[in-house]
Chains A and B, each alone.
Chain A
Amino acid sequence: MPSVATLPKSGAAGAQTAADAGILVVDGIVKQFDTPEGPLVAVDRVSLSVRPGEFLAVIGPSGCGKSTLFNVIGGLIDRYQGAVTVGGETVRGPHPAIGMVFQEESTFPWRTVIENVAFPLEIAGIARKERLEKAKRFIALVGLNGFENRYPAELSGGMRQRVAIARTLASEPKILLMDEPFASLDEQTRLLLGDKVLQIQQDLQQTTLLITHNITEAVQLADRILVMTYRPGRVKRMVEIDLPRPRSSDVVSSEAFGRYVAEIWSDLREEATRGMQDEESRTLHAGAAS
């Protein structure tokens, strides 16, 4: 059972309210799902605020409602309590200021790389010539020059995910919202792609909200990390990552990096353990019931 002690304890997280100068403000989100075993609170009173130009990571064990939070902020889920505001404007449905990058393979297999990246511009009704030129710039930004006319099937998984990132960036969102964008990639590719994302984020001063379960990824990329609890997903703690910028994947070998990873793991371990025990007992009950 979630004890009171797992609720936000430090002032750092608690003070993140609408009053903060956040470009993206998430205020007291509660999302409940109806399951066969009764209502399940996926996200419970989560509040956070992302400052302009900041890289914020949300980390938590599986089943902490991370993806639910992602869909709520992206406007793909409705019927929740609380509010999401972008520059003071309440989000109702997908908002033009928020660009989403999904965890799953999400490039359109019937479109070439450049047609994929130009997709949001096509949706917005921008003329063909102009949108292809613009798409080319964003393809260069993710380092895929020369692959403009290839189909996704001809690329590696990491390259396809870069196409997806370029596509979202091409819509020039104020806030880049990513849900485990590297989850399906191997560790080396993940680190290198992390570099790429860092570089782009630093070049564009791109406000970014990354949802992840990977501690090293979060510490490598983020300015601040919000740690969530296992079911129901609550804010456990906010950790400031005081590592020098501009940053690259070299940072993983520094001593400070190790300290941050250890610190976050000590927070997360408790939650992950609880999650694992919960999974085990539910599997056991499911087995006994059948």
Chain B
Amino acid sequence: MAEASRLNLPAAPNTGAKPRTVGRAEPVLVVRAVIIVFILLFWEAIAQSGLLYRDVVPSLLAIGAAIVKLLSAPDYYWHLWVTASEVGAGLIVGGLSGLLIGLALGGNRVLSKAFEPYLYYLGPTPKIIFFPVMIMWFGVGPGSKIAMGAISCFFPIALSTAAGMRQIDKVLIRVGQSFRASAWQMATKIYLPAMRHPIINGVRLGLGVAIIGTLLAETKLSNQGVGFLIIQAYSLFDMPRMYAMLIVLFVLAIGANALVGRLGGLSAIRQL
């Protein structure tokens, strides 16, 4: 499933480190542009040839028009807001609980040995199997969607927090102790800043899977949100509208990921 393949465990926190050599960036851009143009041409060729049903592969013009129509309808933004707030609430609930559990696991060897293997195995399993349970617990409204988002992002955030806590340079803790920092000062001035990279990386992974979990839940059972709109367009066989929504969603997801990645990237400069 898409969800399983997207959930990379936080083994490699090497995200914000793209090489930025000018000499190499340009050929890469050219390759990218060529590939995109090629895909678009290929799509248009199939659309025009009539090899497939005309409605399954609509022409680029039709999709473009659908995008314009979609973005000029106020209705769409309301649904977008519903989904965004579900993802946001899921990220807050799942993220905070993931952070707390991660801190407990990272700080306690016994707890970590006892429970972390379960998190590792549960982490990559598709969370959509919990959706029926969530509907029964939280109803058919936004509650069950938020729950799906929260379950999805809990795992990567908990695991990378736990790993980050174990990777803290021990000497920095001794420095804090030698200056007689209080427990609160140790937590806020040493532990959290020392763990910022794994935590940001966990949030980035968590955001991705929270979006997936929420949208998947919306496509299954709901009457609002972007996932609902997509599945509605599909059942009305309005393909241009469906593709338009997929493309807009795609761009939004990239933007959200880039934003979180940028947060991590900025502080990467300050890392040793």
Contacts and interface: CB of A to CB of B under 8 A. Distances in A.
A110 B267 contact: yes
Interface in B32-81: none
B139 interface: no
Contacts of A111: 193
Interface stretch (A116-124, A192-200, A237-245): A116-124
A96 interface: yes
Interface stretch (B20-28, B112-120, B179-187, B211-219): B179-187
A109 B196 CA distance: 11
Interface stretch (A100-108, A228-236, A259-267): A100-108
Interface in A72-122: 74-76, 93-94, 96, 98-100, 102, 104-106, 108-111, 119-120, 122
B174 A123 contact: no
Majority DSSP secondary structure for residues of B touching A: helix
A153 B272 contact: yes
A106 B175 contact: yes
A76 B181 CA distance: 13
B56 to A, nearest CB: 52
A105 B171 contact: yes
Contacts of A75: 178
B172 interface: yes
The DSSP consensus for interface residues of chain A is loop
Given A96-B180, A108-B193, A122-B189, A102 B175 contact: yes
B194 interface: yes
A109 B171 contact: no
Contacts of B180: 93-94, 96, 123
A156 to B, nearest CB: 13
Nearest to B175: A106
A96 B179 CA distance: 7
Contacts of B174: 76, 100, 102, 106
B270 interface: yes
A53 B176 CA distance: 26
Given A94-B180, A108-B193, A151 B175 contact: no
Interface in B220-272: 267, 269-272
A123 B171 contact: no
Given A106-B172, A110-B194, A122-B189, A151 B179 contact: no
B193 A110 contact: yes
B177 interface: yes
Contacts of A120: 179
A94 B194 contact: no
A274 to B, nearest CB: 29
A150 to B, nearest CB: 10
B181 A123 contact: yes
Interface in A25-67: none
A151 B193 CA distance: 14
A108 B178 contact: no
Interface residues of B, number: 22
B185 A123 contact: yes
A152 interface: yes
Interface residues of A, number: 25
A206 interface: no
B171 A94 contact: no
Nearest to B185: A123
A109 B271 contact: yes
Contacts of A119: 175, 179, 189
Contact of B171 (A106, A122, A153): A106
Query: Which of B177, B180, B185 counts the most chain A CB atoms within 10 A?
Result: B180
Contacts of A161: none
Contacts of B271: 109-110, 153
Nearest to A170: B179
A123 to B, nearest CB: 5
B270 A153 contact: yes
B13 to A, nearest CB: 14
A119 B171 CA distance: 15
Nearest to B271: A109
A102 B272 contact: no
B172 to A, nearest CB: 6
Given A110-B194, A110-B267, A110-B270, A100 B171 contact: no
A151 B269 contact: yes
Contacts of A151: 269-270
Nearest to A102: B171
A211 B179 CA distance: 19
26 contacts: A76-B174, A93-B180, A96-B180, A99-B178, A100-B174, A100-B178, A102-B171, A102-B175, A105-B171, A106-B171, A106-B175, A108-B175, A109-B270, A110-B194, A110-B196, A110-B267, A111-B193, A119-B175, A119-B189, A120-B179, A123-B176, A123-B180, A123-B189, A151-B270, A152-B272, A153-B271
* 10 nearest A-B pairs in the assembled complex, by CB-CB distance: A104-B171, A109-B272, A100-B178, A120-B179, A110-B193, A106-B171, A151-B270, A123-B179, A153-B272, A123-B181
Given A111-B193, A153-B269, 20 more contacts: A76-B178, A93-B180, A94-B177, A94-B179, A99-B178, A102-B175, A104-B169, A106-B171, A106-B172, A106-B174, A108-B194, A110-B271, A119-B179, A119-B189, A120-B179, A123-B179, A123-B180, A123-B181, A123-B185, A153-B270
